[in-house]
Chains A and B, each alone.
Chain A
């Protein structure tokens, strides 16, 4: 039973447009969420995080939105660049300090130039 779900295996976006990657979770105890980016033949790298006390966190072109009532979070990339093409993993945990991360299956983002 997957507690963190990324229902879109892939997404294709034109350069300069917005990329929206979605993530749903089932465990209402999750209160800390992260996004990781992974290029081929490399390990995932941390991108951005959000605590459940917030509904939005922004870092440059990347913004994560959290809707606790819907148990849904999304990552927005604006504007999308070809270098953003990668696999994006959503992850969640029950406590910011104290419990392990649970990852989704990932979404492949392709940004076309």
Chain B
């Protein structure tokens, strides 16, 4: 298995632009997570899905953030409009059978909003 795949690996955009991050979880994993890593706050859970259904989105910082999982093999995290304070590394992770399972993380997308 290729592991969790994220794209793009790096994204540089200007304030106000729409940003879409993509994730392909490990086949057979029924949980998918979106995390954000910043120096100040470390790893924060933004949202997680179980069987493509959003279960907890309490970590989504604002309405500018949205996430979808149209099928078991694909998820997106969208920021519209983007702001400089959104600059961070965004990780997607997946796990099997439990939201606290030994989740497998993707390599992350480094987002820079100018």
Contact = CB atoms under 8 A, between A and B. Distances in A.
Which range contains the number of A residues in contact with the other chain? 20 to 34
Contact of A102 (B45, B102, B105, B107): B45
Nearest to B41: A105
A34 B102 contact: yes
A98 B99 contact: yes
Contacts of B100: 32, 34, 93, 95-101
Contacts of B105: 36, 43-45
Interface stretch (B12-20, B68-76, B77-85, B90-98): B90-98
Contacts of B106: 43
Interface in A71-107: 89, 91, 93, 95-106
A43 B107 contact: yes
Interface of B: 4, 33, 35, 40-45, 48, 56, 91, 93, 97-100, 102-108
